[in-house]
């Protein structure tokens, strides 16, 4: 068997970075509404079920709460009184992805943060490299041709909390964690569910604000030959 790290271990420590500012990248008309205080939240399922899968924000694995490598999985499916075993030996491929698409509404921002430089000592010679690491990746241009820059994150969060509390809703805001699904196995800790994505989206450097309106739908999506 391949030695896989557990998701619990991979995600046990929160990222220690300094967020310098947040950006919302999109179309001008949407950002003008945002500047007026109108935030457009979407359900998690929107990103995994959207018809146009060429969109940059399409993610078939959105809402992942478990990554189960095929070599550790075995389950039975009943058909007309007969049971069929599904496992790697019978054609199960790669991973079984467990998704929890709660009726949470999310608002996604791009975070400019210090990343791996947070606790790194460096001199003036590498300052240009550090600056390049803070630049918005070109791929983010696929999300829109305008950007709304948020520099006072504390004030923004305070205003949002006030609005949410008036409606008795739950709210979380944190950086999304990016994980290599081919190298990990297990379940996402309950306190950060909805904030874990595949490493293929790492360039998004997403800061996610999530409303919890209650209710859960769990989906298990295996691949077989």
Cα 67 from Cα 31, distance rounded (Å): 35
Give the pLDDT score at 145.
Answer: 93
Query: What's the average model confidence in pLDDT over 94-108?
Result: 85
Q: What size, in residues, is the chain? A: 225
Cα 108 from Cα 139, distance rounded (Å): 16
pLDDT in tens, 158-203: 888 888 888 888 889 999 999 999 999 999 998 899 999 999 999 9
Residue 225 has pLDDT above 70, yes or no: no
Residue 50 has pLDDT above 90, yes or no: no
Give the CA distances from residue 185 to residues 2, 22, 85, 95, 197, in Å, rounded to whole numbers and listed in that order. Answer: 11, 31, 21, 9, 14
Give the pLDDT score at 26.
Answer: 92
Least confidently predicted of 25-34, 36-45, 119-128: 36-45
Mean pLDDT, the chain, integer: 87
Q: Which residues contact 12 (CB under 8 A, 6 or more apart)?
A: 189
Give the pLDDT score at 217.
Answer: 57
Query: What's the average model confidence in pLDDT over 111-139?
Result: 93
Burial class (CB in 10 A: 0-12, 13-18, 19+), 45: middle
| pTM of the predicted protein model | 0.86
Strand ranges in the chain using DSSP code E only, listed in sequence order: 5-6, 19-26, 42-43, 64-69, 74-79, 82-87, 92-100, 104-113, 146-150, 170-175, 177-179, 184-187, 196-198, 206-212, 218-224
């Amino acid at each position: 068997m391949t030695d896989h790290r557990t998701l619990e271990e991979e995600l046990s420590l929160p990222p220690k970075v300094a967020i310098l500012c947040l950006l919302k990248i999109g179309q001008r008309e949407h950002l003008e509404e945002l500047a007026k205080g109108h935030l457009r939240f979407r359900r998690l399922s929107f990103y995994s079920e959207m018809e146009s899968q060429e969109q940059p924000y399409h993610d078939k694995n959105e809402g992942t709460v478990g990554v189960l490598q095929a070599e550790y999985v075995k389950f039975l499916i009943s058909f007309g009184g007969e049971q069929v075993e599904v496992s790697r030996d019978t054609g199960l491929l790669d991973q079984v992805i467990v998704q929890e698409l709660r009726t949470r509404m999310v608002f996604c921002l791009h975070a400019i943060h210090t990343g791996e430089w947070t606790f790194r000592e460096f001199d003036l010679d590498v300052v240009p490299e550090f600056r390049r690491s803070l630049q918005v990746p070109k791929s983010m241009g696929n999300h829109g041709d305008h950007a709304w820059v948020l520099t006072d994150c504390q004030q923004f969060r305070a205003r949002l909390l006030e609005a949410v509390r008036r409606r008795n809703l739950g709210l979380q805001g944190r950086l999304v964690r990016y994980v290599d699904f081919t190298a990990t196995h297990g379940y996402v800790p309950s306190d950060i569910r909805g904030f874990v994505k595949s490493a293929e989206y790492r360039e998004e450097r997403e800061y996610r604000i999530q409303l919890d309106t209650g209710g859960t739908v769990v989906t298990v999506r295996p691949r077989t030959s």
